[in-house]
Structure 1
Amino acid sequence: ADRGAELVKKGFPDRVPERAAKVLSYLIIGLRPVAAIISNLSYSFFWLMRWLVLWVSRRRVYYSDRFACDVTTNPNGLTRALLKIALGIAAEIKEKGQTTTFLEGFDLLLPVGVKQGMSIGSVGLHASFESILQWDIVNPYRQWLTVNNTHPLMGDRLQILSFYAKFWKLETELDWEGLSSKGQANSLKSDRQKLLILGAPFFGIPLGLVVALTFWLVGGIFYLLTWWQVDWLFGDFWLLAGCLPIGYSLGTIIRINRFFPDIRPLKILDDPSLPELLSSPEALPLDSQPVRLQGKLLGRSGMAGWLGQDLSIETKTGLVKLHYLSKLGPLGNLWPKSTRPCDLVGKSVTATGWWRRGATPWLDLDKLQAEGGKSIRSHHPIWSSIVAGVCALWGTYIIYRGSF
């Protein structure tokens, strides 16, 4: 479809009759939106289906590492291999300017996750692997943040391989002795409020369930007291169903201000060093540090990149994944003639947004600006508010109408 659109724009070869060229032009223009919708919906379905096997994929990696060590009795060799694979993935993405379909399609089966390799492999050229992977073995909330990852944390895997090496009286490939993991973990135990706020939308669902059951209890008490005005609360299914989306809505509202603070010039880190950002063991996605990164925009151009699913920026010190959301929501990029980040792929850009340090570091975009002056805004805070409002209204409707 992209090649056809390019032919329409540049013109068909002279050997194609004029009438046939016109017919083909109309067909391409008419069918391209249909192809875009089908292809992007298929891609979304592919990502949804991945969720069913993510936990199995992470568990498989631990068993495969153990099996490899049992067979080879060389955990240090496996450590070197995993790090070299990460370096290779990062080099491949830089060379191709995007995540190839091969890497993404076989992500679940690769020894190293593509997003992991992109981050660790690119930053590993500018800092020691021990400092980069410190977060993976120190942060006490790291396991909570791997839910949507295909592979377990690289630092966790390599530390286990170091334990195997010590068991066999071998010198470890990486030096973890300098990491005071126990002391760092203890200093973070008192900061669980961050984790609660980070997962507030999801914790809000069981909280809504608790509130609904409390109403049931109150209704049951009034039922025993024969107060018919309030006893309808007891056992009302629609009250229970309506409180769930309302709980999600309240959790989202609680998180919005912390997750998307105002980006003020004095608080922005201008083109920071990625090794320094990654080496902070206490960082969490909720920290929402405003940053401004400069570099080359990588990703898929044309229809393949309309959803903005493969955006990243190549800075002086590594690659960073970018998350973008159009003003019309997740499907807004399918709107005809909309301005998309994929239009800037391959150009030098300045990306401003909120830095997130999780199992896979990323940047939630606020603004993406090219050197020529063309800029694109992302709308994460607005859509978080819209989703919260819709869920609250839906929950209220369920309770009021007694139906979905």
Structure 2
Amino acid sequence: MPFVLYLLGLAVFAQGTSEFMLSGLVSDIAADMAVSVPAAGSLTSAFAVGMIVGAPLMAVLSLRWSRRRALLGFLITFLLVHVVGALTTSYAVLLATRVVGALANAGFLAVALTTATSLVAPDAKGRATSILLGGTTLACVAGVPGGALLGQLWGWRAAFWAVALISVPAVVAVARAVPPSTPTTAHTGVRAELRALRSPGLLVTLLLGALVNGATFCVFTYLEPLATHVSGIDDAWVPGLLALFGLGSSVGVAIGGRLADTRPVPLLAGGTAALLAGWVVFALTAGNPVAAVVLAFIQGMLSFAVGSTLIARALYAATAAPTLAGGFATAAFNLGAAVGPWAGGRAISSGLGYRAPLWVGALFVASAVLAAGAALLARQRRQNRQHRQRRQRRQH
């Protein structure tokens, strides 16, 4: 794999830390900003909304720039809004910085995915994707628990300053290592690529990714209050629990990177079934701290193994849309990241308690299973109908 992919992964690490770190800072932000815990959790949803809108929009806008210029512009904007977020005393301003930061993150990730897959062989998209997502899982392992620890020691603002500082070497790395222009497939035009994105297989893959990611973010956003209020885990151990979830996600991305190019169907079928069972078991046993610790690792692994494989399959399904494929894959997965925390927050606000996001996560994955089953049934019927039509034509 080209070394530049690992440098892009460094930038994704900084951005993933920002996207995920609020799961360990929700209570502190709520207290400091005088808002409810669900309102603080909605900062994650705001970030995801910015990713949803920004991914396809920024992918289109960046067509006029060289890839290095686009990556640098998005990354510097991301750095600056975290400085503003660290300084503000207004919840509204903090919310706005999350949206703008997400727009920059979305643009960067969309261009980075396109760049990464253009630098490898056509049958290595899964491995290239796993390197970029490795930055995200490293954020879960080190960045998110580190942010939680900084929050406990010096307040949640310290975590925002840390993200800004981490972004500095990423800016230098991108400026030095990413070529001004990167070879790509022939550009066919935005309209042609949008038509290619209407493929039923691609749309189903994006839907499944949104649902699976919705479950992941629904639980992960509220993992800290779940651990302290339901599982009885002391605050001091929360960073370790978040790191364990991140370690599981790293293992999951590694598994996805190995199998997404060669055996995606067994991984997706078995992994999704195990993921659904895991969320149900977690909901039933959340009051047991040992079970919570073990399942945090297992569910992190399964969530990212399935999720990273779905991203790779979306890129394979959108080979006719090389420019916009990364943007729409990013948007679909962040749609889940927006709806998940919102749904979990609604469940908590309704008085169902901090265990409720686990049940909501199980519902998301169950919906993915049903959607996949319906898509397979529809495809089988379509194939049977086409077979009958061909047979009738031969008979006549």
- Answer yes or no: same fold by TM over 0.5: no
TM-score, normalised via structure 1 length: 0.30
* Bigger proportion of residues as strand: 1
Higher RCO structure (Cα 8 Å, ≥6 apart): 2
